[in-house]
Amino acid sequence: MKKLLIILFLSLFSSNANADSPMKYGEFKELIKSDYNIAKWYVRGLNSGNLFYSSISTIYLPDNKRLFCQPLNLKVTIKDSIKVINDEAERQQKDTQEDIDDMTVPILYILGMQGKYPCEN
């Protein structure tokens, strides 16, 4: 019985090892096809996190260095953000589609937003 509990514990522990890792683009494409609402909530989380970071960075970072500089009067919608992610994935000059699918969605989002709304220094 003790061995069974140990095996159960280890299998549960190892199955959650990647639960907090960023979503890969390949997974994101599949999620959009299978459950668009969940994908929208994921992107909403990306938007919220980046807006929070942007607010904090204007206060605490020297020289107001930010990841990207979205105009203050512009509200980026979930559809806009998904388009930014997909456009950046298409823009990548990787060797294979597999390489692009292995990129994380937050990185694609940040790179896309930097390309679309660069900060002028």
Would you list the domain boundaries of the chain?
26-116
Which carries the bigger pLDDT value, residue 13 or residue 80? 80
The sign one gets for the Cα dihedral 70, 71, 75, 76 is negative
Q: Which long-range contacts (CB under 8 A, 24 or more apart) does 82-86 make?
A: 82/32, 82/39, 82/40, 82/43, 84/109, 84/112, 84/113, 84/116, 85/25, 85/28, 85/43, 85/109, 85/112
Alpha-carbon Rg for the chain in angstroms: 18
- Residue 20's pLDDT is 65
- Residue 56's pLDDT is 76
Burial 98-107 (b: 16+ CB within 10 A, else e): eebbebebbe
What pTM was computed for the model?
0.76
pLDDT digits (tens, 9 = 90+) for 28-55: 999 999 999 999 999 999 988 887 877 7
- Residue 27's pLDDT is 95
